[in-house]
Amino acid sequence: MWGIKINKFVSLFIAFLIFTLGSSNGTAIEILVQPGESIQAAVNNTSSGDLITVKPGNYSENIIIGTPNLTVRSESGNPENTIVSANNPSVNVFHIRANNVTINGFKLQPAQYAEVTGIYLAGCSQCTISNNDLSENYLGMYLSNSKNNMITDNKMSLNEKYGIQLMHSEGNILSNNSASSSHHGIVLENNCSDNNLTGNTASLNAGYGFYFINSSSNNLNNNTISRNDMGIYLTNSNLNIISGNNILENIRYGMWISHSNYSIISGNTINKNNLGIRLNSSDNSTLSGNILVFNYISGLSMCPACDNNTMFNNYLNNTLNVEVGNRRNAWNMEKKAGVNIVGGPYLGGNFWANPIGTGFSQTAQDKDENGIADIKYNETNITDNLPLVPVSYPQQKALPLANSSTDLTNSNIVFTNSSTNRTNLSTGLTDVTASKIVNTSVSAKNSPIDDNYGTD
């Protein structure tokens, strides 16, 4: 009898504890902030899981978020009508130091003092920063020791320093952001790894569109990188994958790889830069499926300290396609079945063209019509044993360039027999502007850029 009473007492006590604990956790709430009210005051009164919705208007404050699992969003979703200006311009507008925080739909301005940013993530993970305008600050967004965050659909232009900077941060996704008209666009520095940068635009930056320093094992794919001083600059950064990017009209180099090994550079369109790709003291990298055309000085250059790099299945059509300082690199893979970059049935070497239609691949014989020239391609420090040629129809003088920003990212381009696609590349050189031509007669390999460029 006593045992029954004790069991009933224990059961009631456990139920009471469950009820008490459930009540103490509370229920997630939504807090509405009106113009004239404080976003920071709302943050200070939140618990994990709460939602803060901010009405359109202008707010002057600096906001620190230490509550995890918190969402702060504009009601309209339009950054242009929900503006947060730094009350103290020497302090970050948003300073996030909790995990799983979402910031969506704000225009943040102006954090103009040195080392001050629109949104600063310090030691954060699983945060989402989306659909914000972080323009006209000193630094648009800064991630420090932060991992596995989602940074998407933000606009960062006209910042004095960078659009986005990552430091000691890994596993982040940066997608569909615009980082333009700043000093550099997107910067990864000091042990940033396993980050995915996809679908971003970096344009009109005074320095680099993308800048990786001491940052390895990142993926840079399907981005548009145009009209910067230099498109992509990697230094002391290994094992990065650079694929499917449109890299065009950059003033100096489309891509500069310096002291960086084991890069995979594939499927990029590198068009109308002064120099397309430069490898400097970089080894064991693979360049394949890239389209390097209309670059005004050269398509690809490698200094004498570059060894064991492999180039195959690339389409080259520049006045000077390649300049390389030694013979310790490979210019073809073993022949194997597979659709190559000009639609032939075998992978092997590269397609060697020039703007006037007299390039090796444009004139070489292919008696067995297998898409591989009957003889090797030899040039200074270059031997391509399996150079590509078109197959089964009149030779093309050019890769079709009607829509280079969208049509040239696919490395497996099949040429058609249509006369409309047989464009003479010489017509594409008529729009060269003085601003895009380096005023020097020296070659890319001996350019003073090699010694002096690539530092902040």
Neighbours of 150 (CB within 10 A): 15
pLDDT beneath 70, residues of the chain: 1-26, 111-112, 392-456
Summarised one tens digit per residue, pLDDT across range 54-76 is: 999 999 999 999 999 999 999 99
Summarised one tens digit per residue, pLDDT across range 335-359 is: 999 999 999 999 999 999 999 999 9
> Exposed, middle or buried by CB within 10 Å (0-12, 13-18, 19+), for 379?
middle
CATH of 29-205, one of 2.40.50.100, 2.160.20.10, 3.90.580.10, 1.10.540.10: 2.160.20.10
Residues 179, 201 contacting (CB under 8 angstroms): yes
353 strand-pairing partners: 317
Cα–Cα separations (whole angstroms), residue 340 to 248, 288, 333, 416 = 23, 10, 12, 14
Return d(Cα 59, Cα 85) in angstroms, integer. Answer: 6
pLDDT score at 409: 36
Return d(Cα 135, Cα 433) in angstroms, integer. Answer: 29
pLDDT score at 77: 96
- Boundaries of every domain in the chain: 29-205, 207-451
pLDDT score at 314: 98
Helix (H) / strand (E) element for 270: namely strand 269-271
- Tokens for 9? 């007492």
DSSP state of 164: E
Return d(Cα 155, Cα 332) in angstroms, integer. Answer: 41
DSSP state of 36: T
Residues 261, 309 contacting (CB under 8 angstroms): no
Cα–Cα separations (whole angstroms), residue 125 to 97, 171, 194 = 9, 9, 14
pLDDT score at 392: 65
DSSP state of 427: G
pTM for the whole structure = 0.82
Comparing CA positions, the residue from 200, 297, 315, 305 lying closest to residue 252 is: 297
pLDDT score at 24: 40
Return d(Cα 89, Cα 116) in angstroms, integer. Answer: 8
Return d(Cα 338, Cα 348) in angstroms, integer. Answer: 9
Pairing of strands 150-152, 162-167: unpaired
- What torsion, rounded to 10 degrees, do the Cα atoms 215, 277, 365, 337 define? 20
pLDDT score at 411: 35
DSSP state of 334: -
DSSP state of 81: G
